[in-house]
Amino acid sequence: MSAILTVRLTPEEKRILAQRSRRAGVKKATFVRQLIREIPFETARDVLRDLTPHLGDERLRITRR
Q: Residue 32: what pLDDT?
A: 92
2 within domain boundaries: no
34 within domain boundaries: yes
Q: Taking the model in full, what pTM does it have?
A: 0.59
Full residue range of the structural domain in which residue 38 is found: 11-54
63 within domain boundaries: no
pLDDT in tens, the chain (65 residues): 677 888 899 999 999 999 999 999 999 999 999 988 888 888 999 888 888 887 877 777 766 66
5 within domain boundaries: no
Enumerate the H helices of 1-65 as residue ranges: 11-24, 28-37, 44-51
15 within domain boundaries: yes
Rounded CA gap, 21 and 29, in Å? Answer: 9
Q: Residue 23: what pLDDT?
A: 93
35 within domain boundaries: yes
Domains in the chain: how many in total? Answer: 1
Say which residues have a Cβ less than 8 Å from residue 35's Cβ, sequence separation at least 6.
Answer: none
